[in-house]
Structure 1
Amino acid sequence: MVPVGSKIRMLRQKSKLTQAELAAKLGISQAEVSRMERGRTAVTVQDLYKISSALDVPVTALLDEADFHKA
């Protein structure tokens, strides 16, 4: 199973966004995005919804292995 942070990183890169650009969309710091991607901080359900919206993917793409490969 791919960790949520790794999925965030891969989907962010696929969207051609930098950590700073994603952070700006989420209203958080670039350092916080980095910690999420590295699994250094917990990602809340609320965070998942914000991230999925910012990356224009369904929330399930961040959680479900099958949807992740389709995103």
Structure 2
Amino acid sequence: MIKNENTLYRHISGLIRNARKEKKISGAEMAKKLGISQQQYSRYERGVNNLKLWNLLRIIKILNIEIKEIIDHIDNDELDK
């Protein structure tokens, strides 16, 4: 259940991490493609640092997934609470 904004960020981060692992791309490789440090990318995936929309769009492009795949995992009723 998504209770607040921080939970939403962690949920999205988990979806991204799972997609990256399914594609067999390392965190270091993702960081390099994004032009950021591996530590920063790790913070995004762990939900420590919130992803800005621009970075989210870049990540889903690299992973070749649709933003709809992320949105579909979020229950709209939970966002209204």
Relative to the length of structure 2, the TM-score reads 0.73
Structure 2 residue runs of 5 or longer lacking an equivalent are 2-9, 75-81
Gaps of 5+ in 1: 67-71
Distance 2:71 2:64 in 1: 15
Instruction: Quote the Cα distance in structure 2 between the aligned partners of 1:59 and 1:28.
Output: 21
Q: Which residue of 2 aligns with 1:25?
A: 33
Task: State, as a whole percentage, how many aligned pairs show the same letter.
Answer: 35
Q: Secondary structure at the match of 2:58?
A: helix
C-alpha RMSD over aligned residues: 1.7
Q: Which residue of 1 aligns with 2:66?
A: 58
The answer to whether the Cα contact below 8 Å between 1:48 and 1:62 also exists between their aligned partners in 2 is: no
Q: Which has the larger radius of gyration?
A: 2
Aligned partner letter, 1:23: A
Q: What's the CA shift for 1:49?
A: 0.6
Separation in structure 2 between the aligned mates of residue 64 and residue 47 of structure 1, nearest angstrom: 19
For these two proteins, the number of residue pairs brought into alignment is 66
The structure showing larger relative contact order (alpha-carbon pairs under 8 Å, at least 6 residues apart) is: 2
